[in-house]
Amino acid sequence: MKDQKEWRPLPESITIKDSTIEGLGVFATQDILANTDLGISHVYDERFPDNYIRLPLGAFINHHEMPNCKAIVSESHESIGNIKHIRIQAEKNILAGEELTLNYIINKLDNPLWEFEYEVTQ
């Protein structure tokens, strides 16, 4: 794993606040360019019910049928090494104040193929 002096649960470009979609959501605090890597939303760990530990980004990003972000399932990344995880990437330019959204499967615990279907929908 790469040495890092400070860990932030969210990048400086996003925050969590009240959402008109559902409860709390993830919002841009500044303009975000398309293809920007927003960080890790989930880390694989088979000891958990759905095999993933959900981080703040994954816990608060809301579902939308026309999302502005996409999830990328990855086996490794330069920042963490060879650890399976899900990263969130801006799919288009997002303006400051806009809510970040994903098109995701909501009832994954009831569907043993959720991870495959999740990847296919991205």
- Compute the half-sphere exposure of residue 57: CA atoms within 13 Å on the CB side of its CA: 26
Q: What is the DSSP letter of 35?
A: T
pTM, rounded to two decimals: 0.76
- Compute the half-sphere exposure of residue 50: CA atoms within 13 Å on the CB side of its CA: 18
Q: Which residue ranges make up each domain of the chain?
A: 14-121
CATH topology of domain 14-121: Beta-clip-like (2.170.270)
Contacts 24+ apart (CB under 8 A), 7-12: 9/55, 9/56, 9/57, 10/39, 10/56, 10/57, 11/38, 11/39
Assess whether pLDDT exceeds 80 at residue 97. Answer: yes
Name the pLDDT band for 96 (thresholds 50, 70, 90).
very high
What is the average pLDDT across 80-103? 92
Name the pLDDT band for 119 (thresholds 50, 70, 90).
very low
Give the other-Cβ count within 10 Å of 81's Cβ: 9
In 3D, which of 67, 113, 74 has the Cα closest to residue 94?
Answer: 67
